[in-house]
Amino acid sequence: MPLPLNLSYYVAIDDLTNGIYSNSTRAALLSLSVTVVFATGQTSVSYSPLRLAPMMSSLDFSPVFISGDAAILEFISGTESIDCPP
């Protein structure tokens, strides 16, 4: 599988799987033109799940669907940029 040339992908995935939502995470999502995030619990031994807590507590995300450990969140860029940790 080819590696993405845009390092924003790595920043976004690493931060969100480690439960971090910061200005750098937000900038990475904006760089990738993300509009929706799909998240579930652990479904693979190869990949860690995205942690929902930081996204659910940020005004940058609006829940579209939540059921158990699965969620679809709309990423609304620009809502909380000044309140993200550095």
Domain of 74? 8-78
**What was the pLDDT predicted at 6?**
80
Compute CA 36 distance to the chain's CA centroid, rounded to the nearest angstrom: 9
User: Does the residue 30 lie in any domain?
Assistant: yes
Which residues make Cβ contacts (< 8 Å) with residue 53, sequence separation at least 6? 19
* Separation between Cα atoms, residue 83 and residue 36, nearest integer Å: 20
**What was the pLDDT predicted at 2?**
62
Number of domains in the chain: 1
Mean pLDDT of the chain: 87
What's the mean pLDDT in 53-77?
93
Better-scored residue on pLDDT, 82 or 38: 38
Do 59 and 80 contact (CB within 8 A), yes or no? Answer: yes
User: Does the residue 63 lie in any domain?
Assistant: yes
